[in-house]
Structure 1
Amino acid sequence: MPHVYSADGTSIGYDRLSDAGPVLVLVGGGLDDGTENRPLGEHLASSFGVVNYRRRGRGDSDDGQPYAVEREIEDLAAVVDAAGGRAHLFGASTGGALALEAAAAGLPVDRIAVHEVPYQVDEAMVAAWQTYRRELDEVLDAGDRDQALRLFMLLAGSSEQDVAGAQAAPVWPALRALAPTLRYDAACLGDGPPPAHRLARVRQPVLLTTGIAVDPQMAGLPVDFFGAAADAAAAALPDARRDTVEVAGHVADPAVLGPILGTFFAG
């Protein structure tokens, strides 16, 4: 698999799924080793030159330290440069926050689509987010990856039963390996609410999509959590459009989301 080197020398792995048209770079979300977006990329590969990369600390990408959101923006810049110098972006969940930060920083990107970015807009959720960030730092500094994962799942609306089931599942060791990157996703979301002053710098067209219902594994979240977050972000963006996808689930069905994205990126 090919790699690029970021500005700080960190090696970032990526896959070029096709060369069919304008470049489209997929940006993964929390606890994603680069596999989550791949089905969507394959769905869009007949119309776009799809590039799916692994964010630093995930999969075959290195984890250069010290971490900063600016380093992740440089990683994405290196991927875009290797793909031809300009690209559309699709960001899933916290990957959407990173995509918007990259656009605000001036990366050479065209259209941007994000799905269910978990910005916090409710006062109680903002307080919970700030507590989570503090506790996440504490447990990761102590080397307790299991507790880091539990904190993340509970914040994301999972029940104690859901957490116990996940911990007993075969996927748990892979999630433990990714647990340190939860701090990176938290940094991309910052204080919790949409960063209106930075989003105002994003002049490209932005599509914000959300599902029609909350993922069953996130049932503890407030009603319309992702919709409210997307509406707040859209209000801060100069050229935003909103769409609701007819699926229930944080990872949208490529067969449903794919055509919406295809139309948007085609202009």
Structure 2
Amino acid sequence: MSDDTDTARTSGPPSAAATACATATVTTARGDRVTYDLRGTGPAVVFVAGAGPFRAVDPVTTRTAEILAAAGVTTVVYDRLGRGDSPAAGRLDLDRELDAVAAVLDVAGGPAVLCGHSSGCAISLRAADRGLPVLGLALWEAPLESGAGETAAWAAEIERRIDAGDLEGATEHFMKDMPPEWLAGAKASPEWPAIAASVVSQRADAQALTWATRALRDGELSGIQVPLLAMTGTRTFPGMPEAAADLASAVPDGTAETVAGADHSWDPEAMGDRLARFVLE
């Protein structure tokens, strides 16, 4: 893997030195170029986004990474394949996304904690299951409340629509069980064409969720031997706390907790504090 620094910049308070941010790219084993922000020194956390977000539109994760860096943690926030500054063509499946995770773990300096958000939780679980150098899993609101068969059918329809070139339809289907105002807001936005175009990156999410819901139900997750912290917000959606409890129970060293947050997003200060304790203690 190659690593080419593009720019460096410094964040502001609380500690400019601790939160200095180097933006660079790393090339995966398949030749994809992944852009990331690297901050801090010490034990590492790599943030794995769910469906949609990337660095330029995700200030919550950036702020959390700054807080962690100031606490003595190395953080890597990267744009997933096909998003933001990590453009990628062709079939963006789960195996290809896991190669990107492997590349950013290498950037982090070796074994690290993966912090997954939403469907990024399933990608993180699969990375640990595949034997990538994962020291722990901090998972925020993993959407694993549906049955394995239902999830597989949902994912297959998303892939079918992507393969047919119906990117708006694929996006609508991906979001069908989310609050309806989310889809309505996306479609009303001038960014809707770009949002729909980015659904090609969500093939990996759909495949990861298919695997994770089945693995959760059939006991396959018991082979994950690293500590797992399954978190939900103080205001969340039906089924999320139960899914977190099921996930924590499915692994040998799992914990389910509530952390300040709402509407599928965490509070950066609360999350930064909880992740620092998870990594450093």
- TM-score, structure 2 normalization: 0.82
**Aligned-residue CA RMSD (Å):** 2.1
Match of 2:210 among 187, 190, 195: 190
Q: What do the CA deviations read for 1:91-142 (whole angstroms, capped 9, x no partner)? A: 1111111111111211222122010111134x5xx55434422321232222
Aligned to 2:175, the other structure's residue is in SS state helix
Match of 2:68 among 40, 44, 48: 44
Aligned to 1:200, the other structure's residue is in SS state helix
**In structure 2, C-alpha distance between the alignment counterparts of 1:242 and 1:236, rounded to whole Å:** 11
Q: What do the CA deviations read for 1:40-72 (whole angstroms, capped 9, x no partner)? A: 212222121111111111112142644442322
Structure 1 residues 165 and 56, CA, compared in 2 at 3 Å: closer, same or farther? Answer: closer
> Corresponding residue for 2:130?
105
Match of 2:80 among 31, 39, 55: 55
> Corresponding residue for 1:152?
174
Unmatched segments (≥5 aa) in structure 1: 216-222
- 1:239: how far off? 0.5
> Corresponding residue for 2:262?
248
**In structure 1, C-alpha distance between the alignment counterparts of 2:141 and 2:244, rounded to whole Å:** 7
Match of 1:86 among 102, 111, 131: 111
- 1:74: how far off? 2.0
Q: What do the CA deviations read for 1:158-207 (whole angstroms, capped 9, x no partner)? A: 22x54333211234233123111222100111256251444222211111
> Corresponding residue for 2:46?
25
Aligned to 2:266, the other structure's residue is in SS state coil
Q: What do the CA deviations read for 1:199-235 (whole angstroms, capped 9, x no partner)? A: 22221111110112226xxxxxxx2x11121122112
Aligned to 2:176, the other structure's residue is in SS state helix
Question: How many residues get paired?
Answer: 253
**In structure 1, C-alpha distance between the alignment counterparts of 2:156 and 2:137, rounded to whole Å:** 31
**In structure 2, C-alpha distance between the alignment counterparts of 1:101 and 1:163, rounded to whole Å:** 28
Structure 1 residues 148 and 120, CA, compared in 2 at 3 Å: closer, same or farther? Answer: same
- TM-score, structure 1 normalization: 0.86
Unmatched segments (≥5 aa) in structure 2: 1-22
Q: Is the 8 A contact 1:113 1:207 kept in 2?
A: yes
Structure 1 residues 205 and 42, CA, compared in 2 at 3 Å: closer, same or farther? Answer: same
> Corresponding residue for 1:141?
163
